Structure 1
Amino acid sequence: MARFAAGNGFVALQIPVHDPRFIDLQRLDESGYIGKLETTLHGDRLAISEIAAHRAGQLMAVNPAYDAVMDGFASADCRGDPARRQARAAADLGAAITLAGRLGVVRLATFSGSLAWPFFYPFPPPPEGLIDRAFAALAARWRPLLDHADQANVDICFELHPGQDLHDGATFDRFLALVDGHPRAKILYDPSHMLLQHMDYLGFIDRYHDRIGAFHVKDAEFVVSDQRGVYGGYGDWLERPGRFRSPGDGQIDFKAIFSRLTRHGYDGWAVLEWECCLKNRLDGAAEGARFIADHIIRVGETPFDAGMRAQGSPDRLDAMLGLRRP
């Protein structure tokens, strides 16, 4: 994978921890094991952008309606046992945070998990207090991990994603209040999920820029249909009005996104997350690094009109404003 990424022009990889072929969390304490990962990446001149633990994050909170399908993400010895599955998810997240700290990688990308998602559309309305209880439980599960991340100097960046309890700004704010505004609770900004929720993904940057710790470059489009709505009618991706596209093939204004992030001093990586209902993934990979590189903004060292700006003494400024006659 390192050779493939480098050969397509990428300069870093976001390393997932759910597949031991990439990194085995059970072997972190073996002598030389982490060093082997670093040697492999350095051999292809690749950095690590983030450690990714999306599956473990999703398994931190699972509504019973999803037990059967979520067991597919769990190790075999945890399937059919929700409590054990959650405990393993918390342990894996803790190990992933430790791994990031040892590697000097300052951001962990993940999902929040979901207890309340089956009730996101309020008909019939859920019992009073159900959503509050779900978020309180979610915050209680994540608080020890946020504290561990603080000790390891790692930010936990939640990808705001439909299907997760943290899926937009309002749900992130609700969670953030319950963890006392924890400094390690950050956002993985992915505009594709915001476009498909009909959110202002540019205004989101202005509002939440101080909490954006990671960025997925993923495109999407919403093609209005006379048959299907925003929930897709259970259709396959090609049939859905809202669907993911290869960067540059969808409707997202990446020039504006890169400008907003640059304006607010974003200092993380721009990571290609590739999903497309039409294009071949190898073509998407070959185009992805070039697309990102073409959008990176090198900030000017001085204002473009610096040469026209004259210095003014207080007396001269007063005279120009008519406050004092020369």
Structure 2
Amino acid sequence: MTGMKGPAIFLAQFLGDTAPYDTLDGLARWAGELGYTGVQIPCDPRLIDLAQAAESKAYCDDLRGRLAEHGVEPTELSTHLQGQLVAVHPAYDTLFDGFAPEHVRGKPAERQRWAVEQLMLAARASANLGLTAHATFSGALAWPYVYPWPQRPAGLIEEAFAELARRWTPILDAFDAAGVDCAFEIHPGEDIHDGASWERFLDAVNHHPRARMLFDPSHFVLQQLDYLDFIDRYHDRIACFHVKDAEFNPTGRSGVYGGYEPWVDRAGRFRSLGDGQVDFGAIFSKLAQYDYAGWAVLEWECAIKRSEDGAREGAPFIRDHMIRRTERAFDDFAASNVDKHAIRSLLGLDRRDDTA
């Protein structure tokens, strides 16, 4: 048993144009001062040169050293934006072009090749950084048909997942060669968004050993899924953990789908840690029960609270919920030292027949 690590923080929502949020060193210093011990790093060129990290162990050692000066270490790299571009339905082409560099915008095939190359680099970069898991999105081909009218034609979903597997299997193989798990965030908007869709994908990639998942309970609240039962079912595939809160307060006016309302007016909305409805005590207990050994990483998204306040409150919240697994049973003090003969005697075995 190695135990959960943390608290850590995902830097994506805090990266900005002003200090300390505009450089990796600035963000690391800020996170360390707030009490975090790890940072999850999006593969953004402002924070990491992914190509150099994939080729140079020295570059990665230097990056780790810079982080260590501020009391933090890298937990995982993230390619959420790049992973999304591995599989894009044409309905979303224009919107997702913003995730790609200018030279591939408006060119879906070239954009996809660029995204795949980014994932391949991320696998090697993760290995050079000494990381064991990587966070990403699956992308989506079938999402426009998630609640269909008219009905979906037979075979559409099967072909969507077959194609998703064709695109991701070479990437998963690259992660396997690097010795790193590839963790897909279970997230609406992705073809992998719940347990059923995860099982479809896992079957399509022949249960690839590097196909893992990033567990974020906030997305389960908004879908009205049982996040504790999810851990019971799939704990052996959970490699990353985003600690994020949410609430769901349906009315006669709006429910799961949100009615096109802004986030603050939706029935389901993300909240800062402790302000929502997620039972983190139960989640941390479940993960400790199954000896989750990865990082607990704050992802801040809230419709109400300022991000700086959410970040400040997040480190002690996570630290107070982390559970160190006990090394002995609670009733060891009452243990009886008996030998095998005594044990058999207690069971009514090996008794002498006094009438013999």
Q: TM-score, normalised by structure 1?
A: 0.96
Tell me what 2:149 maps to: 123
Partner of 1:191: 217
Which 5+ residue runs of structure 1 have no aligned equivalent?
Answer: none
Instruction: Provide structure 2 residue ranges, at least 5 long, that are not aligned to the other structure.
Output: 1-26
Select which of 226, 230, 235 maps to 2:261. Answer: 235
Structure 1 residue runs of 4 or more that deviate by more than 6 Å after TM superposition: none
Deviation at 1:292, TM superposition (A): 0.5
Instruction: Output the amino acid matched with 1:128.
Output: A
1:219 corresponds in structure 2 to: 245
Q: Which amino acid aligns with 2:188?
A: P
Q: Secondary structure at the match of 1:156?
A: strand
1:307 to 325, 333, 344: 333
1:91 corresponds to: 117
SS at match of 1:48: strand
Could you tell me how far 1:322 is from its partner in structure 2? 4.3
Q: Is the partner of 1:14 in helix, strand or coil?
A: strand
Matches within 5 A, 1:84-233: 84-233=110-259
Q: 2: distance between equivalents of 1:166 and 1:72?
A: 22
The one-letter amino acid of 2:328's match is: T
Change (3 A) 1:320 1:30: closer
Specify the alignment match of 1:258 in structure 2: 284
Q: 2:101 aligns with which of 53, 63, 75?
A: 75
The alignment partner of 1:125 has SS state of coil
Q: Does 1:287 align with 2:318?
A: no
Q: Tell me which residue corresponds to 2:52.
A: 27
Deviation of 1:311 (Å): 2.6
**2-structure distance, mates of 1:24, 1:175:** 31
- Give, in angstroms, the shift of residue 26 of structure 1: 3.7
C-alpha distance in 2, partners of 1:207/1:31?
A: 37
Aligned residue number for residue 268 of structure 1: 294
Q: Deviations over 1:270-303 (max 9, x none)?
A: 0000101111111111111100100111111211
Aligned residues with identical type, % of pairs: 53
What amino acid is aligned across from residue 20 of structure 1 in structure 2? Answer: P
Distance 1:199 1:31 in 2: 42
Q: CA RMSD in A?
A: 1.5
Range with bigger deviation, 253-262 or 33-42:
33-42
- Structure-1 separation of matches of 2:33 and 2:139: 35
SS of the equivalent of 1:49 reads strand
Displacement after TM superposition at 1:198 (Å): 1.0
Shift, 1:320, TM fit: 3.5
Higher relative contact order (CA 8 A, sep 6+): 2
- What is the distance in 1 between the residues matched to 2:57 and 2:195? 42
CA–CA distance in structure 2, aligned partners of residues 34 and 297 of structure 1: 31
In 2: Cα distance, 1:41 partner to 1:290 partner: 20
Mapped to 1, the partners of 2:111 and 2:285 lie a distance apart of 42
Which residue is equivalent to 2:17? none
**Native 8 Å contact 2:56 2:128 kept in 1:** no
Tell me by how many angstroms 1:237 deviates.
0.7
SS at match of 2:223: coil
1:199, 1:313 → 2: CA distance? 49
Letter of the 2:184 partner, please give it: F
Amino acid at match of 2:49: D
User: 1:163-214, CA deviations, whole angstroms, 9 ceiling, x for partnerless residues?
Assistant: 0000011111111111111100001011111111111100111111110001
TM-score where L is the length of structure 2: 0.88
Secondary structure at the counterpart of residue 271 of structure 1: strand
Alignment partners' CA distance in 2, 1:320 and 1:106: 48
How many angstroms apart in 2 are the aligned matches of 1:73 and 1:25? 16
Structure 1 residue 151: deviation in Å?
0.7
The separation in 1 between residues aligned to 2:347 and 2:50, in whole angstroms, is 67
> What is the distance in 2 between the residues matched to 1:123 and 1:216?
34
Aligned amino acid, residue 23 of structure 1: I
Quote the Cα distance in structure 1 between the aligned partners of 2:75 and 2:58.
Answer: 21
